[in-house]
Amino acid sequence: MALRPILSYPDPRLHTVAKPVQAVDARIRALVADMLDTMYDASGIGLAASQIDVHERLVVIDVSEERNEPIVLINPEIVWASDEKVMNEEGCLSVPGIYDGVERSTAVRVQALDADGNPRTIEAEGILAICIQHELDHLLGKVFVEYLSPLKRNRIKTKLLKQQRDAGRDSGRRSA
């Protein structure tokens, strides 16, 4: 198990559409373990494989208070979404420090495989439903800021690029 670097917006690799997982094998189980470690280390509640530059349809989620109820979704598909929508403030491990309102369905039904390759169906509402929709967007190459106005999106892009430049300058300095 290892921590993986998380891609930061506006990295173009975040817009890559993920391909289906061909087999749930030891490689995928190791990837799931790495993703869970990475998500927990970053204090996130969800992580898509696309965010760590692995473009396969795999998502891990844990919205529990104790951070001990991981959900693994391999090749997930939303098969139903409620017509009722809610505006919720979202953040993203790939868009650090940025939070904004995104409208999503209040409930979804998703079909996927679990970490053992067994089919599962999850009926989700509330924060879990929102998290599933957010993470599945990543598998389609979409980052939550794309739901925002072009003005907001450009401000966020400018701010994050400046932070990345400043961090690069700081890492080049030596300290005594």
End-to-end CA distance of the chain: 33
Annotated binding-site residue? 15? no
Q: Which residues share a beta bridge with 110?
A: 78, 122
For this structure, is 135 an active site residue? yes
Residue 138 assigned ligand-binding role: yes
CA 15, distance to chain mean position in Å, is: 12
- 128-166 CB burial, b ≥16 within 10 A, e <16: bbbbbbbbbbbbebbbbbebbeeeebeebeeebeeeeee
- The response to whether 55 counts as a known ligand-binding position is no
Pick the catalytic residue from 84, 89, 135, 146.
Answer: 135
Which residues contribute to the annotated binding site?
Answer: 92, 134, 138
Which residues contribute to the annotated binding site for Fe cation?
Answer: 92, 134, 138
- List residues with catalytic annotation: 135
